[in-house]
Amino acid sequence: MEVPSIAREAVRPAAHRLLVCPPDHYRIAYEINPWMRLERAADPHVARVQWDALIAMLEKECGAMLERVEPAAGLPDMVFTANAGVVTGRSVILSRFRCPERQPEEEQFARWFEDHGYAAVRLPRELFFEGAGDLLDGREVWFGGHGQRSDIRAYRYLGSLEGRDIIPLKLVDPRFYHLDTCLCPLTGGEVLWFPGGFDRSGRAAIRDLVPPSGRIEVPEEEALRFACNAVCLGRHIVMPEGCPDTMAKLEAHGYRAHAVCLSEFIKAGGAAKCLTLALPG
């Protein structure tokens, strides 16, 4: 049967640019979140196969255009480019990592952005900020996760600098240590979220800003499989496998949900969204 053109239109890939970092040096080399265990090593070959499959999914199924930053030896978490910073047009707000293990990534990412013509904004020295892991664009407002890695004061600074409202959301569960592990704003204005990641006023803020029909709640067992760590490109959503309830809810909202196996990256506390950084504009 002929598919009505409106349905085809709804899933047609559009151009979305993303920054990724190949997993050449990816491994579990330290423990900086509850997911990481030195004795639970990531298999480098499996990690590479999984990363390649994620990339193929993004490029071939979802119309993404990928930019690659050169991986650096000794910086295994550089694969998680979401933490490089936040890009707005031709400028980037660079991250300042809380954990010393990741701080040397700052200059690697800064160099990539400078080489690619971005104007770099740096926060005052004393403020920690972990980029698009913690600052998410909810269209009307930005959401800023704090309490684990980024400082709430970074959002006061960035909000006035960028002229944007940033709604601070306190993260209370160490397993959900970056905002993108328990919240994912979607293109249609909905949010995918795990309420258990937030304190009472964070939950109230999200309920206040997003109408009930737009709040897609993820059950705990799927939140623990990183269901919220999804990449939303137009009507396409790429997420880790093992999240059938979330996928069904997304499909009911008109999205095309794609599952990928990212077990080796979940060992470091990251999944699909953490492995990408949006380069809008």
CB of 175 to ligand ARG, least distance (A): 11
* Shortest Å, Cβ 102 to ligand ARG: 6
- What residue number has its CB nearest to ligand ARG? 133
- Closest contact distance (angstroms) between CB of 61 and ligand ARG is 22
- In the residue annotation, 274 being an active-site residue is answered as yes
To which residue do tokens 């309490």 refer?
A: 147
Pick 250 or 277: Cβ nearer ligand ARG = 277
Pick left, alpha or beta for residue 53 (phi over 0 → left; psi -120 to 50 → alpha; otherwise beta).
Answer: alpha
Annotation marks residue 178 as catalytic: yes
How near is the Cβ of 11 to ligand ARG at its closest, in Å?
Answer: 26
Alpha-carbon span 64 to 136, nearest angstrom: 19
Q: Which is nearer to ligand ARG, 50 or 181 (CB)?
A: 181
Backbone angles phi, psi at 215, to 5 degrees: -100, 110
Out of 16, 146, 178, 258, the active site residue is 178
Q: Which is nearer to ligand ARG, 166 or 171 (CB)?
A: 171
Closest to ligand ARG by CB, 101 or 253: 101
* In the complex, least distance from residue 122 CB atom to ligand ARG, rounded to whole angstroms: 19
| Catalytic choice (62, 184, 232, 274) | 274
Q: Which residues are near ligand ARG by CB under 6 A? A: 32-33, 36, 77, 80, 82-83, 102, 133, 178, 180-181, 268-270, 274
Q: Which is nearer to ligand ARG, 57 or 171 (CB)?
A: 171
Q: Which residues are catalytic?
A: 178, 274
